[in-house]
Amino acid sequence: MFPILLKWPITIYTYGALISMGVLVSLFFLLKMSKGEKEKINADQVMDLVIWMLVLGFAGARILYIIVEWKMFIASPLRTIVSRSGFVFYGGVISGILAGMWRVKKMGLDFWKTMDMFAVALPLAHAFGRIGCFAFGCCYGRECHSWLGMKFPAGSPAGSGGVPVIPTQLISAAGLLILFAVLWGIYKNKNFDGKVSANYCLLYGIMRFIVEIFRGDDRGGILALSTSQVIGIMMAVFGITLLVKLKPKKIQHK
């Protein structure tokens, strides 16, 4: 674990550096994709979308964190708002998509064609973010004393209990890289626009539901499920619905 990447001349935290790296790698990937003939989007439009989706995405991720951790917010509102940690990915996805819908409509772009591009790049940026979570020690797993368990430094959130835990951050990062590869394959061979976006919702929803089973930090919840599991189920159902609605109907010849 390296929570602090550099202390001179300013303190640079590994978490923030990895998120920035993920955004830059994904941006480079999107700019390369925009040069294709079928994408119908230029570099300036990509930059516009990325900036708006990032700004509103981070705001949404923080807002959902405050909603989930409302007791902490009530006890210490300012500390909760300005904390370096404290983001819920789903909040960022939802607000980011809404920002994308707004900008895509304003620029007159094809919605599903554009969203498919961003659906491929999103898991790539997210994977870097999860590695950042590992460096900081947040988003950790349940107590585990087998070969899989890792003991984090006492000063980190994951090390506060003094016991080895499942490194769910690395499991998530590996799953996201696999998801990126799968979605890229779907993108290159898709037969209708929206297919990649639908598969992202379906596959990420399933993956997140499974990873949540092994999380050990306080997640907030609804009945026996964590908040993220409930959203994961909704996301997967939405993905299936999109696949059914957007898939071209076969013409039956009599």
Which residues, 6+ apart, have CB-to-CB distance to 103 below 8 Å?
48, 49, 52, 53
Q: Is residue 45 part of a domain?
A: yes
Per the structure, the count of domains in the chain is 1
Query: d(Cα 158, Cα 142) in Å, to the nearest integer?
Result: 9
Q: Is residue 7 part of a domain?
A: no
Q: Is residue 224 part of a domain?
A: yes
| pLDDT value of position 26 | 94
Residue-level pLDDT, tens digit, the chain, 254 residues: 677 777 777 777 788 889 889 999 999 999 998 887 677 789 999 999 999 999 898 888 888 877 777 677 677 776 666 565 567 777 888 898 889 889 999 999 999 999 999 999 999 999 999 999 999 888 899 999 999 999 998 888 898 889 999 999 999 999 999 999 999 999 999 999 999 999 999 999 999 999 999 999 877 677 789 888 998 999 999 999 999 999 886 554 44
Domain assignment of residue 129, given as a range = 12-246
Q: Is residue 2 part of a domain?
A: no
- Choose among 184, 199, 214: nearest CA to 244: 199
| pLDDT value of position 85 | 57
pTM, full prediction: 0.86
- Joined tokens for residue 161: 């209990």
Q: Is residue 251 part of a domain?
A: no
Q: SS3 of 134, please?
A: helix
